[in-house]
Amino acid sequence: MNTEEIFNLFLLISALHGFLFCFVILFSKNGREKSMLFINLLVLIISLNNMQSWILAKNFFIEYFFLDYIHIPWHFLIAPFFYMFLIHYLEIEKRSKNLLKIILPVFVLIITIRIGFVSFFSDKNTTDVAYLFEKYTSFEEIFSLIVSLIIFGYSFKILSKKEKLFIKILSYDNLKWIYTFFKLGLLTYIFWIIALAITVALDFKEFIYSYYPLRVLTTVLIYWIGYQALLQLRLLKERKDLRKQLNFAPITDANNIIKEEKDADKKIVFDKIQSTIQEKKLFIEPKLNAEFLANEVDISSTKLSTIIKLFTDKNFNDYINEFRIDLAKELLAHPEYKNYTITSIGLESGFNSKSTFYSTFKKHTGVTPAQYQKSLNR
C-alpha cells in the first residue's frame, strides 16, 4: 500500500468516525447544549471535507464534469464554528458578535460563484480547464485562509484579553485545554500556508502531497477538541451541580468582611484565619493565595504565613490543601456523588488539575482518590 492509498484510507476512516461521533453526541445527554452543538458541527464539516476528498481521490465522478469539479469549501466554516463554540462555552454569546450571520451568506456566495465557474466551463472542450480550476480553487482557499486567521486571532483575543467577561467560568475551568487548542491550531495554519505556498510555487498544478500533513493534523485536532469539549462540559456541569448542592459561596470582596483588631493575639488571628476559610469555603478557589487570605483577615501575608506555620507546622499551600483533601474525601464517600467523575470532585474541591489532585491526595492520605473511593465500597 503506497502513501496515497494510506492517506485515502485515513480520510475514509476519519470521515466515518466523525459521522459516528456526531450521531452519538447529537442524542447524548449534553448534545443539545449550544456549545456542544457547535463542536458537533465542527466535527461534521471536517468529516464532510474528508469524505469529499476521499470521493474525489477515488475518481468516482471522473465521467461527470460538473460533479468532479464541484468541491464544497467546508474549511471556510471551521474557524467560525469554533468561535461560536467558544463564546457559548464561556457563556458570553449575548455580549459577543454572531459572526455566522456574516460568514454563512459569504459561504453560500462562494458556492454560488463556484457553481457558476464550473457551469461556464462545462461545455468547453479545452485542456486548460483543470489548470484554471486549480488556480481558481487556490485563490478561493487563500481568501478562506485570510478569513480564518482573522477569526482565529479574534477568538484568541477574547480568550486572553477579556477574562472579565467570563469570570464565572474561570472559577470552574482554567481553560488550559482551549489554550492548547490555539497552540496546535497555529501549527495547523502554518501547515496550511506551506501547502498553499507550494501550490502557488508550482503554478497551481495539483500537488496533493503538500496537503497530507495539513489534513491529518486538522482532522486529529478537530476530533481531539470534540472529545475534550465533551469531557470538559461534563466536568463543568458536575462542578456546578456540586457547588449548588453544597451551597459554596464564591470569594467575595475583602471590603465586605469584618476586620479583626490589628492588635489581636496570634491565637485569635489563627482562629480567624480558620473560620474565614471554612465559612467562605475559600479553599475551593484554585487561585487562592496568601496575599488574598491575608487581606481577608487584615494582616500582612508574611504574618499570615508565620501564624499558619506556628500553629500547624505547614506552609500555606499544604495548609490550604488539607481543607481541599478533607472536602474531596467527604464527596468521594458521599453516596449521592458516587456516579460523578473523580476529576470533577477534585476540581470542585479546589485543585487546578487532575494531576495535582491525584498527587496531593496521595501525599496526604497515602492512596490515590480512586483507591480511597474503592476502599469505601468494600
Average confidence score pLDDT of the chain = 83
- Return the sign of the alpha-carbon dihedral for residues 364, 369, 375, 377: positive
Task: Please tell me the distance from the alpha carbon of residue 258 to that of residue 255, in angstroms, as a whole number.
Answer: 8
Indicate the residue type of 354.
K
Correct CATH for 3-238 of 3.40.50, 1.20.1070, 2.40.128, 2.60.40: 1.20.1070
The pTM (predicted TM-score) of the whole model is 0.69
pLDDT, tens digit (0-9, with 9 covering 90-100), for 271-310? 888 888 888 888 888 888 889 888 888 888 888 888 888 8
Does 223 score more than 50 pLDDT?
A: yes
| Top mean-pLDDT range of 146-150, 169-173, 258-262, 278-282 | 146-150
User: Under CATH, to which class is 254-376 assigned?
Assistant: mainly alpha
CA 346/CA 316 separation, integer angstroms = 19
Taking residue 103's Cβ as centre, other Cβ atoms within 10 Å add up to 19
In whole angstroms, what is the distance from residue 17 CA to residue 300 CA? 57
Domain boundaries, the chain: 3-238, 254-376
Please report the pLDDT score of residue 80 as a whole number. 94
3-class SS of residue 335:
helix
Question: Which pLDDT band, with edges at 50, 70 and 90, does 67 fall under?
Answer: low
**Most confident of the ranges 200-204, 256-260, 291-295:** 291-295
* pLDDT class of 206 with cuts at 50, 70, 90: low
